Amino acid sequence: ALENFKDQAKDAFWALSSCLCQQTPKVKINGRTFQITKVLGEGGFSFVYLAQDEHSGRQFALKKIRCPTGQEGVKEVMREVEAYRRFKHPNIIRILDSAVVQDPEGEGQIVYLFLPLYKRGNLQDMINSNVVNGQHFPEQEMVRLFKGTCLAVRAMHEYRPTTPRVEDEGDVDVVFDGDEEQQQDGPPLAVVPYAHRDLKPGNVMIADDGVTPILMDFGSTMKARIFIENRSQALYQQDIAAEQSTMSYRAPELFDVKTGQTLDEKVDIWSLGCTLYALAYSHSPFENTQTTEQGGSIAMAVLNAQYKHPQSAYSRGLRDLIDSMLKV
């Protein structure tokens, strides 16, 4: 815990220095030099920076993940990288490049992920703006954003791995593959569903066209269907969910994992219901006065599906859609 705090302090100082100092911090990755302009976000062992390639002037969202445990931590992070590369869909973010370097200030390693920069922010930013300005999403716009998010989730739930195709002699390795389509693979195999497990407005970016939602942050992603054989496995899944899945958007079966049950992609359906509710009413159905100010338990509210629809001009059909996803 102390080492984690030290690492976070270093990154925080770096972020602060980028604001206070005239000289812009720089980092060299894969033979390229990038200027670090500002911090876009942070959480756990990771920071996300606005980075600009000194040579091309191109800007990226650069995610920096510290792995103080060395190779074990790197292996865990690389699973996130594989998830980014696995799913190819217009509503799912594409990773542009990645790199693993030795931490110059510690014994661990650092993984850098280059991601597209979406200047319009995410759905949570739009919700916050609505709250500040006393506005609400028009229902048609909200449903359009939600539909795109659902299409991204469906691509994960219906994922079909493919057999790798044989390389042609003329194939050339791409060093920086962000502007190149992945090579076409062989015939698809059977469906292997994946669950995102941390669906929420903050993990849905808005593309530069202002209308296309882009699902991101695959650090919590795993194969959806997991049979729980014993109590030890149940507790392990609960611990993973507590660490990786935001509480007020987490499915009830992840709060109380039971032996003999199979966890599956329905955990994402619950989170989608919470997300649509948040788009409509500016907060998760389980972030209310009782749970946030009166000492109530979010976990108990989720396990009992205790929530209400505030009065609004939204249609009965929208309320029914939300309710259909929030069933225990």
* Residues making up the binding site for ATP: 63
Q: Is position 196 annotated as part of the catalytic site?
A: yes
In terms of Cβ atoms closer than 10 Å to its own Cβ (0-12, 13-18, 19+), residue 119 is exposed
Q: Which of 55, 89, 136, 196 is catalytic?
A: 196
Q: Which amino acid is at 179?
A: D
**Catalytic residue set:** 196
